[in-house]
Structure 1
Amino acid sequence: MPITEKHLSKSFDNDLNEVVELFMQMGRMAAEQVMIATRALIAADETTAKQVIADDSLINQLEIKIDEQIILLVAKRQPTANDLRLVMALSKGIVDFERVGDEAEKIARMACQLIEDGASPKGYSEVQHLSNQVRLMLLNALEAFARMDTQQAFSVLQSDTAVDEEYQSATRSLMTYIMEDNRHVSKVINILWVLRALERVGDHARNIAELVIFCASGKDVRHTDFLRVEQIVQQTTDAGLGRQHSK
């Protein structure tokens, strides 16, 4: 299913496609910031960590630019139905991407703190693994958005459950370590903050996936149980296949 459909007005198509392209660019940039911040933390690379902190402003500027273009698009074109849902999703999605950038900045700041205080004795393997998972969630959510693929979006929702479980397991393990050996409390707590930031990145990826389902089905699936979401996704998929066969 294409993310946008052809309209009688070619200029409308161009305006809408430009906003979508910027949206995808912002999402990829946010995902990359998370990856770079995590690498800086594990490698104790202060220069790279500080660059992540500085580059957060680029994501913020892109959010403002997309916001402005969305406002102009709504004012000029007054989109309705599917187009309006897409524009609403784009407007909400950039807020999630901006917050992913903020989480990447937090990770970079924790990296700088750990470089200054000395490395934590535990938690780096958990950080690396969780970072890989949430980055993949973000990229999959972006791909689902680009294709308006509700099945892939649902897979992202399922991945978020696994991320939450891993985050809780890692947190319990590190808290147990602190109770058994309190010599490195502040360092381990910094790692706990990093894990929390990564878990929040997963939540934002889930939000993007929910927007895909909203765009494709017209159903708001926030705070909806998995079984009901799966039913909505299947109904949307079946309806899409039905339209293809009728052509």
Structure 2
Amino acid sequence: MEKSDLSHHILSRYNDDLERVRTNVLEMGGFVEEQLKQAVAALVEGDSRLGEQVARGDAQVNAMEVAIDDDCSRILATRNPAASDLRLIVAVIKTITDLERIGDEAEKIGYIGSRLATVERPADRYREIKNLGRLVGEMLHEALDAFARLDPEGAVQVARKDRLIDEEYEALQRQCITFMMEDPRTIRRALDVLWVARALERIGDHAKNVCEYVVYMVHGKDIRHLSVDEVERHLRTRTQSGDEAASS
């Protein structure tokens, strides 16, 4: 094999390694997304068996995180990636940490849903939790889609939805406090609902983090301490600079 052929072969294997890592992250994200969906369903539908199944699934989420982290460590040690490839590895390591924590929150919801299935359900059948779970699920799905497409502009739009989730959580929090004050017999269940709402709000935060990693991966810009408006202005400036450079 000639030196040029060997270099091409090595490069091809390196690209395969990077693509496999990205694919595995999306697979982990899809599994976590399903865990969230089933955890909320377990609570809303009063399905204790489904709630326990979700809780047991957290072990698989943990195993996925460890496997992807090992792959990233191997690539860093053997390939010495630079520039955009290094940003990809860093973003992947951060993303799987957030996905693992989403799995932890889904496990928590699963356990609570399993326990609440044994008590009488409220007349509204946890309507507010179902609505909040839907919003959070959509945000997580769109964040993973932005990661798959390497779409920083789309990621910023998804990150904007975190404010809406925070508002829904705060409204649900006020409602639960009102129920507890009006009828002390509802305190235990209201506290469980608050724990579920808090877990969902945290999942929204983790989805927002994934969006931030997409911007970092594509543009090399750490936006964790910037407002969404500031990030949008930064992206517009980069786009305009790129257009001007291309036309000159």
Could you state the TM-score of these two structures normalised by the residue count of structure 2? 0.91
The 1:111–1:131 alpha-carbon spacing in structure 2 relative to 1, beyond 3 Å, is same
List per-residue Cα deviations over 1:145-190 (Å, max 9, x = no partner).
1111111101111100111011101111111121112111101110
Once the two structures are TM-superposed, the CA of residue 42 in structure 1 deviates from its matched residue by: 0.8
In 2: Cα distance, 1:7 partner to 1:220 partner:
34
The 1:7–1:183 alpha-carbon spacing in structure 2 relative to 1, beyond 3 Å, is farther
3-state SS of paired residue (2:90):
helix
In 1: Cα distance, 2:208 partner to 2:93 partner:
16
Residue 196 (str. 1) matches residue 198 (str. 2): yes
Contact 2:44 2:125 (8 Å CA) reproduced: no
List per-residue Cα deviations over 1:67-96 (Å, max 9, x = no partner).
110011111111111111110000000000
Once the two structures are TM-superposed, the CA of residue 117 in structure 1 deviates from its matched residue by: 3.8
Find the partner of 2:69 among 67, 70, 74: 67
Find the partner of 1:229 among 228, 231, 235: 231
Find the partner of 1:180 among 182, 206, 210: 182
Once the two structures are TM-superposed, the CA of residue 239 in structure 1 deviates from its matched residue by: 5.5
Residue 37 (structure 2) aligns with: 35
Residue 58 (str. 1) matches residue 60 (str. 2): yes
In 2: Cα distance, 1:241 partner to 1:47 partner:
56
In 2: Cα distance, 1:240 partner to 1:40 partner:
49
Residue 132 (structure 1) aligns with: 134
Once the two structures are TM-superposed, the CA of residue 7 in structure 1 deviates from its matched residue by: 10
In 2: Cα distance, 1:54 partner to 1:179 partner:
35
Contact 1:34 1:135 (8 Å CA) reproduced: yes
Residue 88 (structure 2) aligns with: 86
Bigger-Rg structure (1/2): 2
Contact 2:112 2:192 (8 Å CA) reproduced: yes
Once the two structures are TM-superposed, the CA of residue 228 in structure 1 deviates from its matched residue by: 1.3
Residue 104 (structure 1) aligns with: 106
RMSD between aligned residues: 2.0
The one-letter amino acid of 2:198's match is R
Find the partner of 1:170 among 172, 178, 181: 172
Moved more, 41-50 or 225-234: 225-234
In 2: Cα distance, 1:191 partner to 1:59 partner:
24
Contact 2:48 2:115 (8 Å CA) reproduced: no
In 2: Cα distance, 1:162 partner to 1:23 partner:
26
The 1:11–1:208 alpha-carbon spacing in structure 2 relative to 1, beyond 3 Å, is same
3-state SS of paired residue (2:117):
helix
Contact 1:141 1:206 (8 Å CA) reproduced: yes
In 2: Cα distance, 1:79 partner to 1:147 partner:
21
In 2: Cα distance, 1:173 partner to 1:150 partner:
36
Contact 1:53 1:105 (8 Å CA) reproduced: yes
In 1: Cα distance, 2:211 partner to 2:119 partner:
38
Structure 1 spans left out of the alignment, 5+ residues = 1-5
Once the two structures are TM-superposed, the CA of residue 123 in structure 1 deviates from its matched residue by: 7.1
Residue 146 (structure 1) aligns with: 148
Residue 114 (structure 1) aligns with: 116
The 1:24–1:241 alpha-carbon spacing in structure 2 relative to 1, beyond 3 Å, is farther
Could you state the TM-score of these two structures normalised by the residue count of structure 1? 0.91
The one-letter amino acid of 1:232's match is H
Moved more, 143-152 or 111-120: 111-120
3-state SS of paired residue (1:116):
coil
In 2: Cα distance, 1:179 partner to 1:7 partner:
69
Once the two structures are TM-superposed, the CA of residue 218 in structure 1 deviates from its matched residue by: 1.1
Once the two structures are TM-superposed, the CA of residue 64 in structure 1 deviates from its matched residue by: 0.5
Once the two structures are TM-superposed, the CA of residue 37 in structure 1 deviates from its matched residue by: 0.6
The 1:10–1:27 alpha-carbon spacing in structure 2 relative to 1, beyond 3 Å, is same
The one-letter amino acid of 1:204's match is H
